[in-house]
Amino acid sequence: MQNPFGRSSFSALALLLAVLAPVSAAANSTPPQPLVLAAGWQLQDAAKVPQSAAQVSAPAFNTAGWYSATVPGTILTTLVDNHVYPEPSMVRTTAPKLFPKAWRAPPTGTGP
């Protein structure tokens, strides 16, 4: 009897096993470990980053001159740690003076 796909029964069975073997192995494997976002992140003023989000997200994107981000932390934490702004608890100021700009962090998706 001819297989409707034009292959012998043996070829069809071999193809089916080749496709199902990795699926079966994946089902029996342990779940992936969580990705801890703790170091290696960077931050830059969005006005200094004219590239698109896709370009910034590329693994080979050059981040020379970017600030080393404080993680966990906020944008303000990063800027204080990099001496862009003084420690807020030491200086009386308002948020608009501290945060006049938009900032961008590259979403790499895979971590640093």
Q: Tokens standing for 7?
A: 């292959």
**How confident is the model at residue 48, as a pLDDT?**
92
- The 10s digit of each residue's pLDDT in 4-59 is 555 454 444 444 445 454 555 555 678 888 877 788 889 999 999 999 999 998 98
pTM of the model: 0.50
What does the DSSP assignment read for 52-84? -HHHHHSTT---TTPEEPPSSS-HHHHHHHTTS
Question: Which residue is it, tokens 């020379």?
Answer: 64
